[in-house]
């Protein structure tokens, strides 16, 4: 194959443009990157080759701005089976079982077409997990929308929630929790971060690595169309206002096909036919083929004529870059092709052997009888640029004087509580999660709102076990981030996201095991944004180290800006914890009257960046609450011990809205009241957002308070639970029914307007 | 008068419903059925003399999802 | 008691159903792929929930025409007991084993929540252990569970005591507020004239295990087991 022969295919059949530096710039390759590509190929590249380089070196695939800093994250622990670098991370949960999970963003597509964008995001992350051999058992998602007053917000909320429901419900995987927040910084750039947790047996975990020489390359799933070509590059660029109109390449999700793909893959995986497997996500066939080749230290020769195609006359460029959904690439043991084909045909899915692995580490592509691409594989991955992008000076916020932010005249604790409990960020999200099937599979232990984390049983995979006979392990899952903290102080904000995740799992009775993260930021080429990114990553790293809570998978989403306006830094932490016996899981609602309410952790009254300050005084001001990681760990371990020894009946961490909001949530969840005996009128005490705090209830306060930890840690008795109403010593009598109405009213009323 | 709006997914956009219907027809023994595409038909009663442009406006703003769907307007006097 | 749960492409609540049956019978039910044309002689056939064929075209419509359904209809004619839940109820409607139609929920949204059901017919083999007037709490999870029937059908259902369940409040009052999807006369489940077939939208199988919200769905399965033992 001569160079001239490859180049000649730039134009004739498909009207492909000349490969020039200007075209490189359009596709996100800067001049240095373009020249590096030329020197690697050693001749003028074909359009197909150029497309492959530009997508592999995009921010989305190469992590070129973030890679340097992601190395700072701790990724190892004795229970970690697979850290970052595969389709998802894997941890050991005992009994030869593993939990496999990851979180991933689908921000840009969801803004363009909220239903399909969110749906395909959910589909993509589930595919990442079942590619590894796991049956998905739970989905959660972290959603961030613009201001409720923004004209697009309602439409986006409606579309995203329907899309998540449409895909997850059809797949039969319960969507059990998540977050929904609103802030004007997301007006032009919403965040849709979806997380899937699956379980597999240790000896049935599949990886992208491991392919050898002269093995068949198999394509399964849906046919390839011209969907979402260059989605990976789109996810690596800022939005411009007005671009919404001309986007032809939205991907449409087909959850029905994905359900078939899931069942077919798991059926095939129960045998030993698969050597290596990779789902076709961003950059489709290109990234899956390159990943498999690179990780196996081999090459791949593809015959694209054999790829199942949905449209006529597709070019090699289009086939390699299409992001059609519900497809997988795998390397099958030679001789097992027919056995595999029978399974996929049983499930009415396409199956095609489209090439073979080669000793020479090159990616070669043939189609229409000619060669369109012949490039070395390792540079696509190893020589992808890594940038140490400049950081700005990011000043620490000045502390604030809480005295200056007392409760405004005409308001009191009671009315402030009403305001906070019904504000968009705190109001009940029932309208959202009732659209999600959170019960399918029959293993849901804690439904949304019942506990600090979602709790699902992790049953033996086969055969289905009769329930209720003996205990079984469960997983607790939570997603957390407080972007306003990260904006004020990226390092403390990063720490706090991890700490809150840790607390939510501990309060549910789970041992926090590992996290996945979804790092959503603005344009990293701006020094201030880069400072936010580095600060958050370093904060996450420090917290994860101290809490023995490694990062095993994740996703980075940069360039979340519209017309130069960046989102708040939003490093979402998806945490997974293990509950050895689901019967020892903990919920947050008050259980019965007459129980003693105890606060664990110190209350200094930190009002900086609190919800109180924002909702009552209209200020996002001051430093976020500092995070004492030692206290987080000690208090978390203490709460878990209390749950394990059955000394408490409810547990709830204190976060947004502080102590009084947390008490109100426990009261609403349990439909009980409380009489509080603390004489204090200081809003900083009731609404401050000091960290490392939990509220628990107990039938036996003497036994609890006699524990050594209660002498070592700050512990305070707050009062007792009652039949109705929340009574404060200063005469406030707060109706729980009224609180519930306020909490439940906001979102349905907003969506109906 | 009556306006009829016919909405189909754009050419090239995956139509999962059409695909599944095609598969089921095949399963029932209806051989020779090629590609199946499913769309929507919306009938509107509008004042006599309504311009097609006005209906198209409705399509752009609400009835169709121009990101993934094409539409056709028919007016019956 | 021999039970066959039929699996269609897109079915997703078969495991929930199998767990419920195992709990009451002590053994695993048979899972039967929809391309099977010989069902044997089961005592009970279950059409489980899910999104058969993606719920495309009309919910349950394509499943209703799959090969195994001819056999299911033949079994139904012979009097084999059939339970269709959610998507299974939609299939029973599409095959005309049960009358009426299931439309989109009045909210136009998928809805997953716990509802109360009032047992209207407490004497059937599906409901004998519940008893007339008793209230059970089980979840719904559907987008198209809005039962529609014209007056003729409604009279026929009432006259023959064919309504199994109606949506109600916690005290058993059949009210508009308790109706999650807009169903005619709050109907949640109906039977055929011989009371050998029950179709219902709510999921009794998801209220049978210790970790689930409650276990009031168990009574329905125990009724069937007692009748067919």
Judge whether residue C126 has pLDDT over 80.
yes
Residue C101's pLDDT band, with cuts at 50, 70 and 90, is very high
Q: Which residues of C touch A436 (CB under 8 A)?
A: 110, 112
C-alpha span between A200 and A134 (Å, rounded): 4
Q: What is the pLDDT of residues A232-263, one digit of tens each?
A: 555 555 655 444 333 346 788 999 999 999 99
Residue of A402 and C16 predicted with greater confidence: C16
Which pLDDT score, from 0 to 100, does residue A249 have? 65
Q: Which residue would you say has higher pLDDT here, C65 or A685?
A: A685
User: What span, in angstroms and rounded, lies between the C-alpha atoms of A275 and A284?
Assistant: 20
pLDDT class for A460, splitting at 50, 70, 90? confident
Distance to chain B for C55, nearest Cα, Å: 9
Query: A513 near A550, Cβ under 8 Å?
Result: no
A113 contacts in chain B (CB < 8 Å) = 65, 67-68
- The shortest C-alpha distance from B16 to chain C (Å) reads 8
Q: Can you give the length of chain A in residues?
A: 753
Tokens found for residue A308? 């199942």
pLDDT for C12-64, tens place per residue?
Answer: 999 999 999 999 999 999 999 998 888 889 999 999 999 999 998 889 988 99
Q: Which CATH class is domain C3-228?
A: alpha beta
C166 bridge partner residues: C118, C187
Q: Is C59 a catalytic residue?
A: no
Q: What is the ipTM of this complex?
A: 0.97
Note which residues in 100-119 of chain C have CB less than 8 A from chain A.
109-113
User: Which residues of chain C lie closer than 8 angstroms to A442, CB-CB?
Assistant: 13, 15-16, 19-20, 205-206, 209, 212
- Please determine, for residue A114, whether its predicted confidence score (pLDDT) is greater than 70: yes
Residue C37 is predicted with a pLDDT of 83
Confidence of residue A704 (pLDDT cuts 50, 70, 90): very high
| Contact at CB, B16 and C66, closer than 8 angstroms | no
Q: Which residues of C touch A582 (CB under 8 A)?
A: 211
Q: How high is the pLDDT of residue A747? A: 98
* Residues 82-141 (A) with a CB less than 8 A from some CB of B: 112-113, 116
Kindly tell me the burial class for residue A72, based on how many C-beta atoms sit within 10 Å of its own C-beta (0-12, 13-18, 19 or more): middle
> What does the pLDDT read at residue B25?
87
Helix, strand, coil shares, percent, chain A, to 5: 40, 25, 40
- Considering the entire predicted model, what is its pTM? 0.94
- Confidence band, pLDDT 50/70/90 cuts, at residue C152: very high
- B38 CB neighbours in chain C (<8 A) are 56-57
Q: Looking at residues A86-104, what average pLDDT do you find?
A: 96
Q: Dump pLDDT digits (tens) for A34-76.
A: 999 999 999 999 999 999 999 999 988 999 999 999 999 999 9
**Whole-angstrom Cα distance, residue A45 to residue A32?**
16
3-state SS string for A424-459: CCCCCCHHHHCCCCCCCCCCEEECCCCCCCEEEECC
Q: What is the mean pLDDT of residues A549-559?
A: 96
Distance in Å, alpha carbon of C97 to nearest chain A alpha carbon: 25
Q: How many CB pairs under 8 A join A and C?
A: 110
**A429/C contact by beta carbon, under 8 A:** no
Residues of B in Cβ contact (< 8 Å) with A255: 16
Whether C87 and C49 have beta carbons less than 8 Å apart is answered as yes
Distance, in angstroms, between C183 CA and closest chain A CA?
A: 18
Interface of chain B toward chain C, CB-CB under 8 angstroms: 16-17, 20-21, 23-24, 27-28, 38
Cα separation, B24 vs C175, whole angstroms: 40
If we measure between CA atoms, which residue out of A184, A203, A224 comes closest to residue A306? A224
Contact list, A253 vs chain B (CB under 8 Å):
16
**Annotation says C226 is catalytic:** no
Is residue A9 predicted with pLDDT exceeding 60?
no
**A170–B contact, CB cutoff 8 A:** no
Contacts of A129 (CB under 8 A, 6+ apart): A87, A88, A100, A101, A102, A136, A196, A197, A198
Mean pLDDT of B23-51: 89
Fold of B2-76: Mth169; Chain: A , (3.30.1280)
- A422-436 residue pLDDT tens: 999 999 999 999 999
CB pairs under 8 A between B and C: 25
8 Å CB contact of B12 and A251: no
Instruction: Give strand pairing partners of A220.
Output: A328, A351
Of A171, A347, A439, which has the smallest distance from its Cβ to C206's Cβ? Answer: A439
Q: Which of A9, A60, A108, A606 is catalytic?
A: A60
The pLDDT tens digits of the residues spanning C187-215 come to: 999 999 999 999 999 999 999 999 999 99
Give CA separation, A693 vs A68, A514, A604, in Å: 34, 21, 11
Q: Which residues contact A728 (CB under 8 A, 6 or more apart)?
A: A413, A414, A676, A734
Predicted local confidence at residue A503, as pLDDT = 98
Q: How far is B56 from chain C (nearest CA, A)?
A: 25
CB C112 within 8 A of CB A439: yes
Q: Predicted confidence band at A121 (pLDDT cuts at 50, 70, 90)?
A: very high
Q: Mean pLDDT lowest for which of A12-16, A320-324, A631-635?
A: A12-16
CA A623 to chain centre: 26
User: A170–C10: do the CB atoms touch at under 8 Å?
Assistant: yes
Q: Closest partner residue to C12 among A435, A440, A466, by Cβ?
A: A440
Is residue C22 within 8 angstroms of chain A, CB to CB?
Answer: yes
Rounded (10°) angle between helices A658-670 and A736-752? 90
pLDDT of residue A246: 35
For A143-156, the pLDDT digits (tens) are 999 999 999 999 99
Chain A contact probe: residue of B8, B9, B12, B14 with most A CBs at under 10 A: B14
In chain C, which residue's Cα lies nearest the Cα of B15?
A: C56
Q: For residue A670, give Cα distances in angstroms to A303, A667, A694, A737.
A: 61, 5, 17, 11
In chain A, % of residues over pLDDT 90: 87
| pLDDT higher than threshold 90 for residue C66 | no
* Sequence-distant (≥ 6) Cβ neighbours of residue A444 within 8 angstroms: A174, A176, A438, A454, A455, A456, A457, C211, C212
Task: For residue range A264-316, list pLDDT tens digits in order.
Answer: 999 999 999 999 999 998 889 999 999 999 999 999 999 999 999 998 889 99
**Residue C70 CB coordination number (10 Å):** 13
Q: Please compute, for residue A24, the number of CA atoms within 13 A of its CA located in the half-sphere on the CB side.
A: 20
pLDDT at residue C67, as a whole number = 85
pLDDT at B26: 85
- Report domain extents, chain B: 2-76
What three-state secondary structure class fits C105? coil
Average pLDDT over residues C74-91: 97
């Amino acid at each position: 194959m001569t160079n001239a022969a490859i180049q000649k295919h730039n134009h004739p059949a498909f009207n492909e443009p000349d490969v020039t530096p200007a075209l490189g710039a359009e596709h996100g390759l800067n001049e240095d990157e373009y020249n590096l590509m030329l020197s690697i190929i050693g001749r003028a590249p074909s359009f197909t080759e150029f497309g492959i380089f530009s997508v592999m070196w995009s921010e989305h695939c190469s992590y070129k701005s973030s890679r340097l800093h992601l190395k700072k994250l701790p990724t190892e622990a004795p229970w970690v089976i697979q850290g970052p670098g595969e389709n998802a991370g894997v941890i050991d949960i005992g009994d030869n079982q593993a939990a496999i999970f990851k979180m991933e963003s689908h921000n840009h597509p969801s803004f363009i077409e909220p239903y399909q964008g969110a749906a395909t995001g959910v589909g993509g992350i589930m595919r990442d997990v079942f590619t590894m051999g796991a049956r998905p058992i739970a989905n959660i998602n972290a959603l961030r929308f613009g201001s409720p007053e923004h004209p697009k917000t309602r439409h986006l909320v409606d579309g995203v929630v329907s899309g998540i429901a449409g895909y997850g419900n059809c797949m039969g995987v319960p969507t059990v929790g998540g977050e929904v927040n609103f802030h004007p910084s997301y007006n032009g750039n919403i965040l849709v971060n979806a997380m899937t947790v699956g379980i597999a047996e240790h000896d049935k975990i599949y990886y992208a690595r491991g392919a050898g020489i002269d093995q068949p390359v198999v394509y399964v799933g849906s046919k390839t169309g011209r969907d979402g070509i260059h989605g990976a590059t789109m996810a690596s660029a800022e939005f411009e206002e007005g671009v919404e109109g001309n986007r032809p390449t939205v991907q449409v999700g087909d959850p029905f096909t994905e359900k078939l793909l899931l069942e077919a893959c798991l059926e095939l995986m129960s045998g030993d036919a698969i050597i290596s497997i990779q789902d076709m996500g961003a950059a489709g066939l290109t990234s899956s083929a390159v990943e498999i080749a690179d990780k196996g230290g081999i090459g791949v020769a593809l015959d694209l004529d054999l790829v199942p195609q949905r449209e006529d006359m597709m070019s090699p460029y289009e086939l390699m870059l299409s992001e059609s959904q519900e497809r997988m690439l795998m390397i099958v043991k030679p001789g097992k092709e027919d056995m595999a084909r029978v399974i996929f045909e049983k499930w009415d899915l396409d199956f095609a052997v489209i090439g073979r692995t080669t000793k020479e580490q090159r990616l070669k592509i043939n189609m229409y009888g000619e060669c369109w691409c012949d490039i070395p594989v390792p540079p696509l991955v190893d020589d992808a640029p890594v940038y140490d992008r400049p950081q700005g000076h990011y000043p620490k916020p000045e502390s604030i004087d809480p005295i200056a932010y007392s409760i405004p005249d005409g308001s009191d604790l009671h009315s402030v509580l009403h305001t906070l409990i019904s504000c968009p960020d705190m109001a009940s999200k029932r309208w959202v999660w009732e659209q999600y099937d959170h019960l399918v599979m029959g293993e849901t232990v804690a439904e949304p709102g019942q506990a600090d984390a979602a709790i699902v049983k992790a049953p033996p995979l086969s055969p289905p076990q009769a329930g209720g006979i003996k205990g079984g392990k469960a997983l607790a899952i939570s997603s957390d981030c407080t972007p306003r903290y990260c904006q004020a102080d990226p390092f403390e904000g990063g720490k706090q996201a991890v700490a809150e995740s840790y607390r939510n799992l501990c309060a549910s009775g789970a041992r926090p095991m590992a996290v996945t993260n979804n790092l959503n930021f603005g344009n990293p080429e701006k020094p201030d944004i880069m400072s936010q990114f580095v600060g958050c990553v370093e904060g996450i790293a420090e917290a994860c180290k101290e809490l023995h809570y490694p990062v095993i998978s994740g996703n980075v989403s940069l360039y979340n800006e519209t017309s130069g306006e960046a989102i708040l830094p939003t490093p979402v932490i998806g945490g997974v914890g293990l509950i050895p016996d689901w019967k020892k899981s903990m919920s947050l609602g008050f259980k019965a009257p007459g129980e003693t309410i105890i606060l664990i952790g110190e209350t200094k009254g930190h009002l900086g960046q609190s919800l109180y300050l924002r909702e009552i005084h209209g200020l996002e001001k001051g430093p976020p609450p500092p995070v004492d990681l030692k206290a987080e760990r000690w208090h978390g371990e203490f709460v878990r011990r209390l749950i394990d020894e059955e000394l408490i009946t409810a547990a709830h961490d204190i976060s947004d809205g502080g102590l009084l909001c947390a008490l109100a949530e426990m009261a609403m969840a349990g439909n009980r009241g409380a009489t509080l005996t603390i004489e204090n009128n200081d809003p900083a005490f009731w609404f401050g957002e000091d960290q490392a705090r939990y509220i628990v209830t107990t039938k036996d306060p003497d036994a609890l308070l006699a524990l050594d930890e209660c002498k070592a840690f700050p512990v305070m008795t707050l009062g007792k639970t009652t039949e109705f109403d929340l009574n404060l010593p200063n005469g406030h009598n707060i109706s729980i029914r009224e609180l519930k109405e306020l909490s439940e009213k906001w979102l349905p009323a907003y969506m109906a307007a | 008068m009556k306006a009829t709006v016919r909405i189909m997914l754009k050419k090239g956009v995956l139509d999962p419903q059409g695909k599944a219907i095609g598969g089921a027809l095949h399963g029932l023994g209806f051989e020779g059925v090629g590609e199946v595409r499913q769309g929507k038909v919306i009938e509107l009663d509008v004042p006599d003399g309504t311009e097609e442009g006005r209906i198209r406006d409705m399509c752009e703003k609400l009835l169709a999802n121009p990101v993934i769907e094409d539409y056709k307007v028919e007016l019956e006097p | 008691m021999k039970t066959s749960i039929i699996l269609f492409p897109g079915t997703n609540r078969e495991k929930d159903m199998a767990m419920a049956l195992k709990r009451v019978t002590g053994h695993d039910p048979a899972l039967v792929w929809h391309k099977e044309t010989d069902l044997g002689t089961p005592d009970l056939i279950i059409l489980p929930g899910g999104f058969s064929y993606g719920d495309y075209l009309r919910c349950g419509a394509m499943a209703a025409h799959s090969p195994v359904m001819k056999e299911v209809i033949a079994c139904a004619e012979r009097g084999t007991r059939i339970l269709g839940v959610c998507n299974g109820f939609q299939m029973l409607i599409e095959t005309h084993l049960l009358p009426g139609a299931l439309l989109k929920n009045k909210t136009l949204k998928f809805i997953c929540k716990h509802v109360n059901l009032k047992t209207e017919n407490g004497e059937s083999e599906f409901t004998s252990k519940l008893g007339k007037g008793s209230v059970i709490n089980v979840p719904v999870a559907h987008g198209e569970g809005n039962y529609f029937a014209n007056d003729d059908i409604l009279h026929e259902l009432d006259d023959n005591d064919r309504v199994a369940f109606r949506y109600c409040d916690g005290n058993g009052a059949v009210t508009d507020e308790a109706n999650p999807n807009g169903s005619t006369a709050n109907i949640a489940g109906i039977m055929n004239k011989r009371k050998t077939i029950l179709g219902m939208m709510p999921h009794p199988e998801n209220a049978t295990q210790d970790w689930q919200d409650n276990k009031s769905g168990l009574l329905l399965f125990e009724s069937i087991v007692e009748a067919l033992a």
